[in-house]
Amino acid sequence: MNNWIDRAEKVIRRCEEVACWTDEPGHITRTFLSPSTRDVHACLRQWMEDVGMAVRLDAAGNLRGVRPGSQPSDPVLYLGSHIDTVPHAGAFDGVLGVVLAIALVEALENRRLPFAIEAVAFSEEEGVRFGVPFIGSRALAGTVDAELLARRDALGNTVADAIREFGLDPERLPEAAVGHGGLGYLEFHIEQGPVLESVHLPLGIVESIAGQSRFAIVFEGRANHAGTTPAPLRRDALAGAAEWIGRVEREACMTPDLRATVGSLEVQPGASNVIAGKVLATLDVRHSSDDIRLHAVASLLDAATQIAARRGLAVSWEQRLDQPATPTDPSLLAALERAVTRAGFPAHRLASGAGHDAMVMAKICPSAMLFLRSPGGISHHPDETVLPGDVAAALAVGVAFLEEAEALRA
């Protein structure tokens, strides 16, 4: 295990090195095709080339390193994760999966497998800049459409503009798609939650990923003077939004395993002495059952309508994401379970409440995920970390998984 510990410490150092490249000095913040992405690409490209991978950048800004199989006609096993972050993030969400993929190729040394390995650093997964996630993996799945390319960021730039500004050509996006012939996709990722720590395990096998619904909600009332407008005559958009947010929280508390979150509010005009005339809010609803998720969404949108009507407000919404729940592939799940057991660890299964690129990749090839313990259950925060022993365990399991995949090809 000492050899794996040395490799694990190298992986951690590399993740911390990538974290130095940021859009916001003093914090780890990196959005889709922002200037700091170029520096991350330079690091990853060098590390990929150092282990003998042929590297290219596709039209969505995904950096892709390929290690050939024993024959040119061999299918491809995809390994990877994303390199964008939420604002003020930690160093391991997404990036760990990319660096681990490179480390696994390095661990193979000169050994040839009956399949190629493609390590993919997806350019975008978090949905921060354009309000829609999975731009990178959608490019591989061939589902980047005109609507997505036309979506605008806070500065009015479209996704297509961002691609061009980075020196890429959105017209070449079809070349990024990989079709349906892949052997599979395996993503290593920190758990981003407390489950593995609570059961004292380094690793967990993901058996399903919760479905997600995301909306932009707008409550509109009438801005007016805070000192002269009596309460019964107000059309306070913020008061209406606040009542509805309480309803969102109650729905989440009453429905087992439902996650419902209002994570962002913009109040207009936003002055202390002016009644709010308009509020822009977000809604994020998740559950492993699509029926339960969609029922909750309908209930919450109906509640917004009723609250707005009673308060003399208008309410409208735009759906930003409807991502079905995704079970992981049974055959890859079984192979991963065998690999975990062979490496000497308990094969603990769990569900993911967070969305991942594996959800998108599952539409085009068998997909699986391995979670690493998140100390303190912390993620999307500067204190996010990993344990060297857990990273070493993931590397050992990764090599065992490649051997399982080799046996399936025999």
H-helix segments, 57-126 = 95-108
Does residue 104 surpass a pLDDT of 60? yes
Mean of the per-residue pLDDT values of the chain: 96
Burial of 84 (0-12, 13-18, 19+ CB in 10 A): buried
Q: What is the pLDDT of residue 37?
A: 98
| Residues facing residue 19 across a β-bridge | none
CATH number of 2-210+325-409: 3.40.630.10
- Give the CA angle between residues 317, 131, 270 to the nearest 5°: 65
The arithmetic mean of pLDDT across residues 156-169, rounded, is 98
Q: What is the pLDDT of residue 408?
A: 81
Could you identify the residue written with the tokens 């932009």?
A: 216
Q: What is the pLDDT of residue 179?
A: 87
The arithmetic mean of pLDDT across residues 88-115, rounded, is 97
- Give the CA angle between residues 145, 146, 147 to the nearest 5°: 90
Q: What does the alpha-carbon distance between residue 266 and residue 152 come to, in Å, rounded to a whole number?
A: 17
Task: Say what angle helices 95-108 and 388-409 make with each other, to 10 degrees.
Answer: 60
Q: What is the pLDDT of residues 272-328, one digit of tens each?
A: 999 999 999 999 999 999 999 999 999 999 999 999 999 999 999 999 989 899 999
0.95 exceeded by the pTM? Answer: no
Q: What is the pLDDT of residue 1?
A: 57
Which of 228-232, 238-242, 308-312, 351-355 has the least mean pLDDT? 351-355
Contact between residue 290 and residue 211 where contact means Cβ atoms under 8 Å apart: yes
Q: What is the pLDDT of residue 161?
A: 98
CA-to-CA dists, residue 43 to 21, 49, 98, angstroms:
10, 10, 12
- Read off the pLDDT band of 2 (50, 70, 90): low
> Which residues are within 8 A (CB) of 232 and not within 5 positions of it... i.e. 6 or more apart?
none
Contact between residue 386 and residue 243 where contact means Cβ atoms under 8 Å apart: no
The arithmetic mean of pLDDT across residues 212-218, rounded, is 96
Q: What is the pLDDT of residue 24?
A: 96
| Residues facing residue 279 across a β-bridge | 219, 267
User: Comparing C-alpha atoms, which of 395, 341, 401, 403 is closest to residue 372?
Assistant: 395
* Contacts of 223-229 spanning 24+ positions with Cβ under 8 A: 223/268, 223/269, 223/274, 223/275, 223/276, 223/277, 223/278, 224/274, 224/275, 224/277, 225/273, 225/274, 225/275, 226/272, 226/273, 226/274, 226/275, 227/273, 229/275
Q: What does the alpha-carbon distance between residue 101 and residue 92 come to, in Å, rounded to a whole number?
A: 13
Of the CA atoms within 13 Å of residue 173, those in its CB half-sphere come to: 20
3-state secondary structure of 244: helix
pLDDT-above-70 percentage for the chain: 99
**CATH for 212-323, among 3.30.465.10, 3.40.710.10, 1.10.3080.10, 3.30.70.360?**
3.30.70.360
User: Comparing C-alpha atoms, which of 204, 189, 209, 191 is closest to residue 327?
Assistant: 209
* Greatest Cα-to-Cα distance within the chain, rounded to the nearest angstrom: 80
The arithmetic mean of pLDDT across residues 172-177, rounded, is 98
Cis previous bond, 327, omega within 30: no
Does residue 410 surpass a pLDDT of 80? no
Q: What is the pLDDT of residues 319-364, one digit of tens each?
A: 998 989 999 999 999 999 999 999 999 999 999 999 999 999 999 9
Query: Two tokens at 309?
Result: 């009507």
Query: Two tokens at 409?
Result: 């090809």
Q: What is the pLDDT of residue 279?
A: 98
Q: What does the alpha-carbon distance between residue 384 and residue 90 come to, in Å, rounded to a whole number?
A: 5
The arithmetic mean of pLDDT across residues 223-252, rounded, is 98
Q: What is the pLDDT of residue 300?
A: 98
Q: What is the pLDDT of residue 317?
A: 98
Does residue 3 surpass a pLDDT of 90? no
Q: What is the pLDDT of residue 200?
A: 97
> Which residues are within 8 A (CB) of 221 and not within 5 positions of it... i.e. 6 or more apart?
234, 235, 236, 237, 240, 275, 276, 277, 278, 311, 312, 313, 314
- Read off the pLDDT band of 262 (50, 70, 90): very high
Q: What is the pLDDT of residues 38-91, one digit of tens each?
A: 999 999 999 999 999 999 999 999 999 999 999 999 999 999 999 999 999 999
Domain extent listing, the chain: 2-210+325-409, 212-323
Q: What is the pLDDT of residue 385?
A: 98
